[in-house]
Structure 1
Amino acid sequence: MIRQVFSQIVNLLGASLPNRCLLCHQGVARGQTGLCSACLGASLYQQPVCLGCGRGMTLQLKYCGSCQQSRPLPVVAPASYHQGLGPVISGIKYQGQMAALESLCQALVERFEELEALGLVSRPQALLPVPLHPGRLRERGFNQAWMIANRLSVILGIPLVDDCLVRTQHTLAQAGLDGKARRQNLKQAFELQQALPYPRVAIIDDVVTTGTTVSEIAAQIRVQAPDMQVWCLARAEAPGLLD
């Protein structure tokens, strides 16, 4: 029931908002919301990138040479956070500006299907949104990771699982913290409260920066879900990796 209500809210918001691109402010074609085709296309990756660190590559492989050794969690994202979409995704998270949510979720689906066709990732059995602490959820009024996961679940027909993992600590916001502070801030912040019946899952978030959040979640669910990947609307990779 709750999922249906959220879906209806997103649809109503999209229908009621002015049909203007959030980036260039020009009119958006009928059937699109939030971003025009030109701005969305220009913001998406224009080159292959490593699924481990986000480094630009010549050919689309799963990992660059450095990540071949460590084999980090693969991150499926359609774009870099730094190449135009930062303000749009921040608007989703902090202002509840949902106009572009549908377009960005569709771009993420297309990116996943491209990588799946190349044999670099497998279709997950379940989508696991990064949970918010109840206190933060009351403050914000919604969990953007849940809303993204819910839309992806509808598009792809993959179950959304939101009753296994909880956030037990009301941590500081990660924005503005360095890598060490992020790790300390999220230490033991998540808890798996019941069995996760799917060994292959995708952890869903709005943006991945250092990967601290998803790494903490992975540590909690690795035994029950050994095959994990991360899906997000954009990746905030380290400076210079796409140069």
Structure 2
Amino acid sequence: MPPINISIDITHILGLCLKRIQHARVILLGSLPNRCLLCQQRIDQTGYQQLFPNQVLTGVCQVCLAASLYQHEVCLGCGREIALLQAYCGKCLKQEPNYVVAPCSYHQGLGPVIAAIKYQQQCAPLNAITQQLACRIALLIKHGIIRRPQVLIPVPLHPNRLRQRGFNQAWLIAKELSLLTNIPLDDRCLIRIVDTLPQTGLAGKQRRKNCHGAFALQPNMTYQRVALIDDVVTTGTTVDEIAGLFSLQFIHVQTWCLARAEAPGLLD
């Protein structure tokens, strides 16, 4: 009896297995204790997985998340409230500072949660806030406010700081954004060559001195448009220092972050 030739589509089978694993993961995570870090209420998943399939909302509930996002358009230069969806307010239009794209203000709700990601290794809300950042990016690209970059570049830590902390939150954000946007991640072209002091608590002049000469780029890069990824942008000293290096190679830079900490009084 001749042997029976059975053709098996391995790729199809692996795809089905992956979907079942993802579905099982969602069910498992959804069944675990899951409370909002802000209001301490149980996080309801109703409707969330329709927006983000195979994702479980963790760390922050839908109510607190929605309340903390920008409720108006903001200037990509300074973060000031503006009436229309556009890049700059009138003041920034004269100077055209680097674009900073964020879904929310650090001062209006999510600041403690984002700080906990860096300082307490509490990464539960990272994916949810990054998803909101991805939605904001998609909106700005759709309306031609920003251009889609060729690559995502996380702001690096010095090896000493990386060993001390154990992870780079900017890299984690960039990795999730890469999955959401299908933009590749490059964590080798930019390095931190000086183990600087933490920026927290430093005045503007001290921040600039602290960051000066702290980074280096690989020579002869082939990118024309890049997005720097960080958790929070405050004075913009760090990203401006890095942007200067890219400008020397005629590379356009924008910054994507989970939140921006606007200047005092700007939101009053």
Say yes or no: TM over 0.5.
yes
Taking structure 1 as reference, are residues 225 and 101 closer, same or farther at Cα in structure 2, changes over 3 Å only?
A: farther
Distance 1:18 1:98 in 2: 15
Instruction: Show the counterpart of 1:64.
Output: 89
State whether structure 2 residue 44 is matched by structure 1 residue 29.
Answer: yes
Q: Please, which of 226, 230, 234 is the counterpart of residue 251 of structure 2?
A: 226
SS at match of 1:222: helix
Taking structure 1 as reference, are residues 206 and 99 closer, same or farther at Cα in structure 2, changes over 3 Å only?
A: same
TM-score between the two structures when normalised by the length of structure 2? 0.83
Instruction: Show the counterpart of 1:88.
Output: 113
Q: Is the 8 A contact 1:47 1:58 kept in 2?
A: yes
Q: Is the 8 A contact 1:77 1:108 kept in 2?
A: yes
Instruction: Show the counterpart of 2:195.
Output: 170
Distance 1:17 1:93 in 2: 24
Per-residue CA deviations over 1:86-120 (Å, capped at 9, x if unaligned) read: 10010001111010011001000011111112211
Larger CA Rg, structure 1 vs 2: 2
Instruction: Show the counterpart of 2:14.
Output: none
Distance 2:183 2:89 in 1: 29
Distance 1:106 1:17 in 2: 21
Shift in Å at residue 195 of structure 1? 3.5
State whether structure 2 residue 101 is matched by structure 1 residue 76.
Answer: yes
Question: How do 1:22-171 residues align onto structure 2 when only pairs under 5 Å count?
Answer: 22-30=37-45, 31-171=56-196
Shift in Å at residue 226 of structure 1? 2.4
Give structure 2 stretches of 5+ with no counterpart. Answer: 1-24, 46-55
Per-residue CA deviations over 1:1-49 (Å, capped at 9, x if unaligned) read: xxxxxxxxxx99x949731111101011233111111000000001111
Distance 1:29 1:187 in 2: 46
Stretches of 4+ aligned residues off by more than 2 angstroms: 14-18, 193-197, 223-226
Q: Structure 1 vs Structure 2: percent identity of aligned residues?
A: 59
Q: Is the 8 A contact 1:148 1:204 kept in 2?
A: yes
Per-residue CA deviations over 1:183-235 (Å, capped at 9, x if unaligned) read: 00001000113433211010000000000000111111223352211000000
SS at match of 2:147: coil
Q: Please, which of 34, 57, 67 is the counterpart of residue 19 of structure 1?
A: 34
Q: Which amino acid aligns with 1:113?
A: A
Taking structure 1 as reference, are residues 101 and 185 closer, same or farther at Cα in structure 2, changes over 3 Å only?
A: same
Q: Which amino acid aligns with 2:68?
A: S
Instruction: Show the counterpart of 2:10.
Output: none
Q: Is the 8 A contact 1:19 1:34 kept in 2?
A: yes
SS at match of 2:227: strand
Taking structure 1 as reference, are residues 187 and 152 closer, same or farther at Cα in structure 2, changes over 3 Å only?
A: same
Give structure 1 stretches of 5+ with no counterpart. Answer: 1-10
TM-score between the two structures when normalised by the length of structure 1? 0.91
Q: Is the 8 A contact 2:77 2:87 kept in 1?
A: yes
Instruction: Show the counterpart of 1:180.
Output: 205
Q: CA RMSD in A?
A: 1.7
Q: Which amino acid aligns with 2:204?
A: G
